[in-house]
C-alpha cells in the first residue's frame, strides 16, 4: 500500500514538473526568443540587451534557472556578432553551468547551435561540427513545440555552412534546402545563392538571390536579412559585370549596415571590399582607394566607444549574475586554475592570430600604396597630355590635383592672372621652353620673356633655377 502511495506521489510530481515546463516554454521561452531574434535582425542593440536583462530578472523571481541560461546564450550570440569573443566565452560558461543540470533538450540545442557558431568564428571547424551535431541530437530528443522548428532551421543552416568549410558541397546544399523548408524570411535563399554563386552557377544564383531580395523588399525592413540579400545581390551583379546595378545594391547594403552596425559590426568590411573591387573594375581609382582604406580600417581598428559601451553593459550583466551564483562557488580554486590554463592557451592562440593579422595588414598597406601611386601616375600623365594639347581644361584640372601649389603662387603674388598660373603649372610639370613654345604655338623668345616676367612677379633671384623654385614651392 505504501509503495502504491509513493508511486502515485511520484506520478503527480512528474506531471506537475512537465506541466510547469510547458508553461515556462509558452510564457517565457517563446516570448523571449522571438523578441530577441526580432531585435537581433533589426540591429536594435539597446532593446536586445534590455530585453535579456528584464527576462533574466523575471527568471530569477520565478526560480527558473533554464530561463537564465537562455539570456546568457542570447547575449553570448550578440557578442559573437560584435567579435567580442572573450565576453561570449564567459556568458557561454555561465549558460553551460546551468544546462549541465537541466533536462531541457530545446535549451541545450539552442546552446550547442550558438556555441558551434562561436567556434566557427574562431576557425575551429571540427569543434563547430561537433557542437552543431550535439544540437541536432538534442533537438531530435525533444517533443513537438513552438520553438522546435525555429531552432531546427538555425541548426540546418549552420550545418550547411560547416559543410562548405569541409568542402562537402553537396551535403551543404542538402542542409540549406532543409533549412529553406522551415523558413520564409529569405535567409535560406541568401545562403543558397551565396553557395551557388561561389560555384559560378550564375543562373541558379540569380534565381535564389532574387527570391531573397524580393522578400526583403516586400517587408520593407532595413534588417540583417535585407543587409545579407543586398550584399549578395551586389556581388552577383559584380560577377555578371552589371556594375551600375552592383553599385546600387552595395550602396543600399552599406546604408542598412550603418543602421544595424551596433549588432552587425563585423559586416561592413565585406561591403567595403566589394565596393573596392567594383571601382577597381570600373577604373574609378579614387573610390577604389577610398574603400580599400575603409576596408583596412574596419579590418584592424576597433570602435573604442562602441566596445566601451558593450563591455560596460556586459560587465554589469555578468556581475548581477555572479551575485546570484556565489552560493555555487565551492570549487573556486579549481575554476581559477582551469581559467589560468585556458587563458594561457588563449594567449598562445591569440599570438598566432595577431601574427597572421600583421602579415595581412602589411599586404593591405602595400596594396594601398601601390594603388595610390598608380592613381598619382595616372593623374600626372593626364595633366601632361592636357598641357601638350593646350587644352582649356588644363589649369582647372591642375588646380584640382595641386591646390597647395596654386595657393603658394597666389600667396607670393595674388595678382597673377590665369594665363600666368597656367604657364607656372607647365613649368611645375618640367616642360622645357621649347616644348611650351610648341604646345602653345608661340615663339621660343616669347616663352623666355614670360619666364623673365614671372621671375619678377614672384621675386625669384636671378641665380636660382626657375624649375628648382617651383619644385620647392608647395
List Cβ neighbours of 36 (8 Å cut-off, separation of 6 or more). Answer: 48, 51, 52, 74
3-state helix, strand, coil in the chain (%, to 5): 80, 0, 20
pLDDT digits (tens, 9 = 90+) for 163-177: 888 888 888 888 888
For residues 440 and 438, what is the distance between their CA atoms, to the nearest angstrom? 6
The pLDDT-based confidence of 10 (bands split at 50, 70, 90) is very low
- Residue 44 DSSP code: -
pLDDT digits (tens, 9 = 90+) for 269-295: 788 888 888 888 888 888 888 888 878
pLDDT value at residue 330:
52
Looking at residues 186-199, what average pLDDT do you find?
Answer: 67
Burial class (CB in 10 A: 0-12, 13-18, 19+), 283: exposed
pLDDT digits (tens, 9 = 90+) for 27-54: 788 888 888 888 888 888 888 989 999 9
- Most confident listed range (171-175, 192-196, 349-353, 358-362): 171-175
Please state which of the ranges 180-189, 235-244, 246-255 shows the lowest mean pLDDT: 180-189
pLDDT value at residue 114:
93
- Residue 186 DSSP code: S
DSSP symbols for 82-131: TT-HHHHHHHHHHHHHHHTT---HHHHHHHHHHHHHHHHHTT-HHHHHHH
pLDDT digits (tens, 9 = 90+) for 56-114: 999 999 889 999 999 999 999 988 887 788 888 899 999 999 999 998 999 999 999 99
Residue 19 scores a pLDDT above 70: no
pLDDT value at residue 324:
59
CB-based contact 186:215 (threshold 8 Å):
yes
- Percent of the chain exceeding pLDDT 70 equals 74
Residue 12 scores a pLDDT above 80: no
CB-based contact 432:395 (threshold 8 Å):
no
For residues 236 and 156, what is the distance between their CA atoms, to the nearest angstrom? 24
For residues 324 and 338, what is the distance between their CA atoms, to the nearest angstrom? 22
CB-based contact 243:226 (threshold 8 Å):
no
Q: What angle do CA 187, 86, 191 make, to 5 degrees?
A: 15
For residues 85 and 76, what is the distance between their CA atoms, to the nearest angstrom? 8
Reading the block at residue 134, the C-alpha cell is 550535439
pLDDT value at residue 197:
54
Structural element, H or E, at residue 193:
helix 187-198
Give 402's Cβ-side CA count (13 Å radius).
24
Reading the block at residue 201, the C-alpha cell is 552557377
For residues 461 and 469, what is the distance between their CA atoms, to the nearest angstrom? 9
Task: Give the CA dihedral 393, 377, 288, 238, nearest 10 degrees.
Answer: 90
Check residue 416 and give left, alpha or beta (phi > 0: left; psi -120 to 50: alpha).
beta
Per CATH, the number for 184-302 is 1.25.40.10
Reported for 175-180, long-range contacts at CB under 8 A and 24+ positions apart, including other chains, are 179/153
pLDDT digits (tens, 9 = 90+) for 294-350: 787 766 653 443 444 455 555 656 666 666 555 555 555 566 666 566 566 656 655
Rg (CA), the chain: 32
For residues 171 and 163, what is the distance between their CA atoms, to the nearest angstrom? 6
List Cβ neighbours of 347 (8 Å cut-off, separation of 6 or more). Answer: none
Q: What angle do CA 384, 385, 390 make, to 5 degrees?
A: 95
- Percent of the chain exceeding pLDDT 90 equals 13
For residues 159 and 173, what is the distance between their CA atoms, to the nearest angstrom? 10
For residues 40 and 224, what is the distance between their CA atoms, to the nearest angstrom? 8
CB-based contact 407:425 (threshold 8 Å):
no
Q: Where are the domains of the chain?
A: 184-302, 332-388, 390-472
List Cβ neighbours of 150 (8 Å cut-off, separation of 6 or more). Answer: 33, 37, 182
Amino acid at each position: 500500500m505504501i509503495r502504491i502511495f509513493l508511486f502515485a506521489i511520484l506520478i503527480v510530481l512528474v506531471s506537475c514538473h512537465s506541466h510547469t515546463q510547458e508553461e515556462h516554454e509558452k510564457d517565457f521561452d517563446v516570448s523571449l526568443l522571438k523578441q530577441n531574434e526580432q531585435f537581433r535582425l533589426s540591429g536594435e542593440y539597446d532593446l536586445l540587451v534590455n530585453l535579456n536583462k528584464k527576462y533574466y530578472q523575471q527568471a530569477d523571481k520565478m526560480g527558473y534557472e533554464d530561463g537564465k541560461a537562455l539570456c546568457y546564450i542570447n547575449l553570448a550570440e550578440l557578442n559573437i556578432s560584435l567579435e567580442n569573443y572573450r565576453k561570449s566565452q564567459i556568458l557561454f560558461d555561465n549558460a553551460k553551468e546551468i544546462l549541465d543540470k537541466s533536462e531541457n533538450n530545446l535549451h541545450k540545442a539552442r546552446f550547442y547551435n550558438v556555441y558551434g557558431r562561436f567556434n566557427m568564428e574562431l576557425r575551429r571547424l571540427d569543434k563547430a561540427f561537433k557542437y552543431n551535431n550535439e544540437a541536432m541530437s538534442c533537438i531530435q530528443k525533444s517533443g513537438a513545440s513552438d520553438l522546435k522548428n525555429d531552432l531546427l532551421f538555425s541548426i540546418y543552416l549552420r550545418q550547411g555552412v560547416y559543410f562548405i568549410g569541409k568542402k562537402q558541397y553537396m551535403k551543404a546544399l542538402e542542409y540549406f534546402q532543409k533549412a529553406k523548408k522551415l523558413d520564409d524570411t529569405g535567409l535560406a535563399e541568401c545562403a543558397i545563392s551565396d553557395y551557388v554563386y561561389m560555384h559560378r552557377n550564375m543562373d541558379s544564383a540569380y534565381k535564389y538571390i532574387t527570391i531573397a531580395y524580393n522578400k526583403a523588399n516586400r517587408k520593407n525592413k532595413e534588417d540583417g536579412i535585407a543587409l545579407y540579400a543586398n550584399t549578395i545581390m551586389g556581388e552577383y551583379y559584380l560577377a555578371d559585370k552589371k556594375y551600375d546595378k552592383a553599385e546600387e545594391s552595395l550602396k543600399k547594403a552599406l546604408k542598412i549596415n550603418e543602421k544595424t552596425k551596433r549588432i552587425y559590426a563585423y559586416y561592413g568590411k565585406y561591403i567595403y571590399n566589394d565596393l573596392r573591387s567594383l571601382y577597381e573594375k570600373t577604373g574609378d581609382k579614387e573610390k577604389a582607394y577610398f574603400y580599400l582604406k575603409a576596408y583596412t580600417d574596419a579590418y584592424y581598428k576597433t570602435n573604442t566607444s562602441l566596445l566601451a559601451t558593450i563591455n560596460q553593459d556586459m560587465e554589469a550583466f555578468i556581475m548581477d549574475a555572479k551575485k546570484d551564483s556565489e552560493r555555487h562557488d565551492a570549487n573556486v580554486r579549481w575554476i581559477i586554475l582551469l581559467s589560468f590554463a585556458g587563458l594561457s592557451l588563449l594567449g598562445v592562440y591569440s599570438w598566432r592570430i595577431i601574427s597572421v593579422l600583421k602579415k595581412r595588414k602589411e599586404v593591405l598597406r602595400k596594396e594601398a600604396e601601390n594603388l595610390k601611386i598608380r592613381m598619382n601616375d595616372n593623374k600626372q600623365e593626364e595633366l601632361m597630355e592636357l598641357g601638350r594639347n593646350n587644352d582649356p581644361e588644363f589649369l582647372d584640372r591642375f588646380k584640382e590635383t595641386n591646390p597647395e601649389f596654386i595657393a603658394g603662387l597666389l600667396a607670393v603674388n595674388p595678382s597673377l592672372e590665369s594665363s600666368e598660373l597656367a604657364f607656372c603649372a607647365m613649368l611645375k610639370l618640367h616642360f622645357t621652353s621649347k616644348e611650351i613654345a610648341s604646345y602653345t604655338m608661340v615663339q621660343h623668345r616669347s616663352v623666355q620673356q614670360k619666364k623673365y616676367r614671372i621671375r619678377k612677379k614672384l621675386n625669384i633671384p636671378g641665380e636660382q633655377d626657375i624649375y628648382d623654385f617651383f619644385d620647392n614651392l608647395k
